[in-house]
Amino acid sequence: MSPAGQDQQGELVAPERWTAAVAAARAEGFTFFEWLGAVDEVGRPGGGPARLRVVVVLRHLAEPARTRLLSTEVDRDAPALDSLTPLFAGASWHEREAAEMFGVVFRGGSTQRLLLAPEFEGTPMRKDEVLGARAGVPWPGAKEPGETEAAPSRRRMVPPGVPDPEVWGERDPEAPPAGAAEVAESAVGGRVRRRRSR
């Protein structure tokens, strides 16, 4: 049975208590910062306002099996939390990633880009973000139920980015390794999946 105030995402704390709760866990011996990330809660069962959840995992070095999960929920329209970098310098990388992917602002933390180009606009890991490739490139086969254009179903099509098995995976062991250009050329989507021979 979970302790009071805990669920599968850890102990839920109010956003204004975020740094105080992490500092308290650190004082209890959870001195190793393991991970921080965000989750888009939109569309989750149970209704309620659509929010972003930020989760941190801390570990107790004297007893490595003991971990502490803390989470908080922030408003999707103005997601902001105090940075954990004064407590754990290693949190900076994780906060920068969550800022770019989900749009969470970590007050007092680094605003330097980590993964995306400086000119990129958007939050690609939010469920409501429209990805350019999906909107700009027609997907092979029907996109939505009811769209029937004489094309194979998506289940039978290989998505973009998946190399041909003869180039990557089921390649002849006597053949030299595939070069990067050959793999990239074979990773164009839209081809029909091959049936595996048994």
Helix/strand/coil (H/E/C) assignment for every residue in the chain: CCCCCEECCEEECCHHHHHHHHHHHHHCCCCEEEEEEEEECCCCCCCCCCEEEEEEEEECCCCCCCEEEEEEEEECCCCEEECCCCCCCCHHHHHHHHHHHHCCEEECCCCCCCCCCCCCCCCCCCCCCCCHHHHHCCCCCCCCCCCCCCCCCHHHECCCCCCCCCCCCCCCCCCCCCCHHHHHHHCCCCCECCCCCC
The CATH code of the domain at 6-107 is: 3.30.460.80
Give the integer Cα–Cα distance in Å for 10 and 105. 21
HEC string for 145-177:
CCCCCCCCCHHHECCCCCCCCCCCCCCCCCCCC
Mean pLDDT in order along the chain per 10 residues (198 residues): 45 96 97 95 68 94 93 92 97 96 95 89 81 54 54 56 66 73 59 54
What local confidence, expressed as pLDDT, does residue 129 receive?
A: 76
What local confidence, expressed as pLDDT, does residue 2 receive?
A: 33
Give the integer Cα–Cα distance in Å for 149 and 105. 44
What local confidence, expressed as pLDDT, does residue 184 receive?
A: 57
Give the integer Cα–Cα distance in Å for 196 and 198. 6
Give the integer Cα–Cα distance in Å for 145 and 178. 38
pTM for the model stands at: 0.64
Residue ranges per domain, the chain? 6-107, 138-193
